[in-house]
Amino acid sequence: MSSHWSPTHSRAGGSTARPADGALIGLGHAHSVAPTALLLLALALGATLLAGSTLGLRRRTDTPRPAPAAGPQMSTRRVWRYVTARPDLRYLLAFGAWSNLAVSPVLAMLPAWYGDLLGPGPATAVWSSRALAAYAVGMILGSVLIGARPVEPDGSRALLQATLAHLSICAGLAVASALASTWAIVVALFCVGGLFSILVAAGGQVWLHAAPAEARARILSLKRLVAFSTIPLGTALMGAVGNRFGYQQSTGLFAATSAALTLASLVSWRIRAGARVRT
C-alpha cells in the first residue's frame, strides 16, 4: 500500500473516513476495511433481531396495553401553532438548530481539520478515528451520567442544563481550534460527546413533558425537522469556509456563531416569557 495519498486528494475528501477505517489504515490493513464493515453490520443486525425476539418472549400477556389517546388528532397546522405559541418551545426549536450548526459540520470535516495539522496521509485518518472514538465514548459516559441521576430536573432547570451544555460545547471547540494540537481535538470531542448527550436528554425531557399525547409524534417530528435542517447547511458552509480560511479556524468561527445565536435566542425567550407573565 502506498505510504502517501495522491496529491490530487482534496482535504475535504478525507471526510469519508470512519473510526474503524482509520485504525485499519494505520495498521496497514486497508484491504480489511470492507470485510470489517460487513462483519460489524451483520453483528448489529443479529443483535437487533435477538433483542427484538427476547423482548417479544418476555412481554407478559396479562399486562394491559395503554389505551389510545382520546379526542381528535391534532393537524400539522395546529401542532405548529401549539409549538410557536409557547416561548420555551420556540426557544428549543431555535436552540436545536444552533446546536447542530456547531457539532455536525466539525464531525463531517474532521479529517480535513487534521489534514490542516498533519498534511494528507494515513496519519490524518488514524487521528480522525481516535477523535471520533473519543466522541462516541463521551456520548456513552454522558448517557450513563444522565441515567444515574437521582432526580429529574423540572422544565426550567432542564432548559438551563441543555443551554449550558451547548455553550460548553462551543467553548471546547473554540479552545481546540486555537491550539495546533492533535490531542486537543481528541480531548475536545470526548467532552463534546458527553455534553451533547446531556443536551439531547435535557431538551428531550422538556419536549416530552410539553407535548400532548395525541400529537407527540408530530411535535417531535417537527422538532427534528427544524433541528436537522442545519446539518446539511452547516456542513456545506463548513466545506466552503474551511477551504477558504482553513478548517481549524472555521471550527472556532462556527462555534462562536452557534453560541452567539443561542444567546440571542435565549434573551429573546426570556424577554417574551417575561412580557407574557406581565400581561
* CA–CA distance, 115 with 269 (Å, rounded to integer): 40
Identify the H or E element spanning 81.
helix 76-84
Query: Among 18-22, 26-30, 126-130, 196-200, which is the least confidently predicted range?
Result: 18-22
Task: Using alpha carbons, list the distances in angstroms from residue 150 to 16, 146, 179, 247.
Answer: 40, 9, 37, 41
Residue 101 has pLDDT above 80, yes or no: yes
Count of helices and strands (H, E) across the chain: 11, 0
196, 161 in Cβ contact below 8 A?
no
Q: Dihedral, CA atoms, 266, 272, 278, 279, nearest 10 degrees? A: -160
pLDDT value, residue 64: 52
**Reported pTM:** 0.70
Locate 69 and state its grid cell.
Answer: 389517546
* CA–CA distance, 108 with 101 (Å, rounded to integer): 11
Locate 12 and state its grid cell.
Answer: 475535504
pLDDT digit string (tens) for 221-277? 888 888 888 888 888 888 888 888 888 888 889 999 999 999 998 888 777 766 655
* CA–CA distance, 158 with 204 (Å, rounded to integer): 9
Calculate the average pLDDT of the chain. Answer: 78
* CA–CA distance, 242 with 105 (Å, rounded to integer): 10
Model confidence at 39, in pLDDT bands (50, 70, 90)? confident
Tell me which CATH code domain 66-278 carries. Answer: 1.20.1250.20
* CA–CA distance, 125 with 122 (Å, rounded to integer): 5
177, 249 in Cβ contact below 8 A?
yes
Share of the chain above pLDDT 90, in %: 18
Residue spans per domain, the chain: 66-278
Residue 257: CA atoms inside 13 Å, Cβ hemisphere, count?
Answer: 17
Rounded mean pLDDT, 70-97: 77
pLDDT digit string (tens) for 165-198? 999 999 999 999 998 889 999 999 999 999 999 8
Rounded mean pLDDT, 138-148: 89
Q: DSSP 3-state assignment of 276?
A: helix
Phi, psi (degrees; rounded to nearest 5) at 7: -60, -20
Task: Using alpha carbons, list the distances in angstroms from residue 190 to 83, 97, 133, 136, 153.
Answer: 33, 21, 8, 7, 24
* CA–CA distance, 244 with 239 (Å, rounded to integer): 9
